[in-house]
Amino acid sequence: MNKVRVRFAPSPTGGLHLGGVRTALYNYLFAKQHGGDFILRVEDTDQSRFVPGAEEYINECLSWCGLQPNESPAMGGAFAPYRQSERKKIYKDYAEQLVESGHAYYAFDTPEEIEMMRQNLKAHGEGNLQYDHHVRMRMNNSLRLMPHEAQELLNAATPYVIRLKIDPGETISIDDVIRGDLKFDTNNIDDKVLLKADGMPTYHLAVVVDDYLMKISHVFRGEEWMPSLPVHALLWKYLGWENHMPKWAHLPLILKPDGNGKLSKRDGDRLGFPVFAMNWTDPKTNELIKGFKELGFLPEAFINLLAVLGWNDGTAQEIYSLDELIEKFSIEKVHYAGAKFDFEKAKWFNHEWIKKLPVARYQLQVKKIFEDNGIIIDDEAKFERVLILIKDRCHLINDFFAQGNFFFKTPATIDTTAISPSWNDNKQMFFVELIRAYELSTLWQTADLEKEFKELAAANKLKPGELMLPFRIMLVGGKFGPGVFEIASVIGKEETVKRIEHTLASM
RNA sequence: GCCGCGUUGGUCAAGGGGUUAAGACGCCUCCCUUUCACGGAGGAAUCACGGGUUCGAAUCCCGUACGUGGUACCA
């Protein structure tokens, strides 16, 4: 049994969506559980769609998710180069080899001629408009032309493509790790272009050549590739590598939550949640597409929610660390059907991870958010205490600011309407006395503050419950946050007194 | 149009001939908390439809519907 080698092969056209990250994750997990290699290969053969910076962006996303490849364009490896645009010559040689062995041919048809052929077929009521065995002997290619005619066109530098010659009447049966036996009829397959007029290979030629040369053992990719599986299998066969063909698995699609279709980058804004791992700014349009990272997702949660969207180990477990996934994931148990993405559930995963992880894991990140909002943290111990106090109420990392800024800054607005209806002189008096009592206090622990508060309330014949809400409003500004005495204890005597006085003055 | 693939509550899903058809998110009720959350206890809600096979079908087969992907010199 050869070593397991899998690859993640995105095209650098901008952004990295949920489905892409999940594909990378499943490949990574499989490699790890077999002690194999996880390779990043960049499919940049379409020059017109290439976007500068996109490759670096992909690297960053993988790194954030903790899915480090051990071979890539950036880090090199034994099978370099890993960028397809740099392997142009290799593909051309194999394409020509296929022509020589009679499995491919030169086609000189212009796009207009092909379009005309399709119109013609349509006019005759044909449902199948492909460039295939039905029409190829009527087209301008080296199969129909005399050898010297074709050679003359080649000599005259006529633009051409190389097409795969698919013979009809054959049933191709391929085993898919997830779906089992898949059957295809070659009658329905067209003569796919292998080498484009610009000399670049199409995906079909490039994957097969690279997967062979890079000794890829398993190919896990999106379900959108299933229809071209027979083409790839045929290519493995025609190139003489049939015995080296990798095992295949086609992953279900991630769909829009509200209805129809594959989740795409345009859905993000419309539905109010990100579809990319990290923020991506299109350099051409300057359009920003939001990412999970910047919205306040933890990579642990992001990986977790993606892993279980389309896979389940048969138990009720839902929270998995990367290490646990490596231990328990199995590609055979991936589902057949596409799954609609649910952002509410995604937030739940993040919430679980915020609660589960020690605050040190995201303390720096939260600190940065505070600083971006004008609050400088100089007391790390206090900051950590606050984080522990409020982590249970945060779903996104960004929630920490709303839940915790009042620990470091006097609330800008005080919701006095929440207490004014039942405000009276007795309460006013109580808080005046509370200020004095707290000022004299030598103890400032949560329990001490609560004890003093309640004793003073009893002395004034007031119910503590009626006073705690006003106290909260004074300290926090609104009806939220952890226990009031915890808050008073954290912000300290001086600040507590100051906030009581401030509100009292405006009642 | 042609060719694939799929279909268990609103969503993610377990279950693959006999189950009161797990669990989670969301929603609702109650408890806890004299705030808001967290947490706890309950609740509503599901096998796309039609035929078969079988003593018995969510589970196997066929058809239909619907969804979805491909049908590019895009990946």
Query: Over the stretch A29-56, which tens digit does the pLDDT of each residue have?
Result: 999 999 999 999 999 999 888 899 999 9
Query: Over the stretch A191-235, which tens digit does the pLDDT of each residue have?
Result: 999 999 999 999 999 999 999 999 999 999 999 999 999 999 999
Chain B bases closer than 7 angstroms to a protein Cβ? 1-8, 10-15, 22-26, 34-38, 67-75
What value does the mean pLDDT take over residues A362-381?
A: 96
Q: Nearest residue to nucleotide B37 when comparing alpha carbons to its C1'?
A: A393
Q: Nearest residue to nucleotide B7 when comparing alpha carbons to its C1'?
A: A337
Distance CA A326 to C1' B32 in A: 39
The model's confidence at residue A267, banded by pLDDT at 50, 70 and 90, is confident
Whether the pLDDT of residue A421 is over 90: the answer is no
Q: What is the pLDDT of residue A262?
A: 84
The residue type of A42 is V
C1'-nearest nucleotide to the CA of A188: B3
C1'-nearest nucleotide to the CA of A178: B5
Whether the pLDDT of residue A69 is over 60: the answer is yes
Between the alpha carbon of residue A361 and those of residues A62, A300, A320, A397, A403, the distances in Å are: 19, 11, 17, 11, 18
Q: What is the pLDDT of residue A123?
A: 85
What value does the mean pLDDT take over residues A403-410?
A: 95
DSSP annotation of A405 reads: G
Q: What is the pLDDT of residue A47?
A: 87
What average pLDDT does the structure give for chain A? 94
Which of these ranges, A53-57, A240-244, A361-365, A460-464, has the smallest mean pLDDT? A460-464
C1'-nearest nucleotide to the CA of A194: B73
d(CA A107, CA A191): 10
Phi-psi region of A132 (alpha: psi -120 to 50; beta: other; left: phi over 0): beta
Which residue of the set A237, A247, A262, A265 is catalytic?
A265
Q: Which residues pair with A260 in a beta bridge?
A: none
Which of these ranges, A125-129, A304-308, A326-330, has the smallest mean pLDDT? A125-129
For residue A150, give every residue at least 6 positions away whose Cβ sits within 8 Å of its Cβ, in sequence order, or none.
Answer: A106, A108, A141, A142
Distance CA A475 to C1' B65 in A: 61
Distance CA A230 to C1' B3 in A: 12
Neighbours of A307 (CB within 10 A): 22
Question: Please, are residues A434 and A456 in contact by the beta-carbon 8 Å criterion?
Answer: yes
Whether the pLDDT of residue A1 is over 70: the answer is no
Distance CA A236 to C1' B66 in A: 37
- Check residues A456 and A120 and name the one with the higher pLDDT: A456
User: Is residue A117 classed as helix, strand or coil in its secondary structure?
Assistant: helix
Q: Nearest residue to nucleotide B11 when comparing alpha carbons to its C1'?
A: A342
Q: What is the pLDDT of residue A88?
A: 97
Q: What is the pLDDT of residue A266?
A: 80
Query: For this structure, is A265 an active site residue?
Result: yes
* pTM of structure: 0.95
Distance CA A396 to C1' B38 in A: 15
C1'-nearest nucleotide to the CA of A49: B74
Q: What is the pLDDT of residue A381?
A: 95
Q: What is the pLDDT of residue A305?
A: 98
CA torsion A451-A455-A461-A467 (nearest 10°) is: -30
Question: Please, are residues A29 and A329 in contact by the beta-carbon 8 Å criterion?
Answer: yes
What value does the mean pLDDT take over residues A423-435?
A: 94
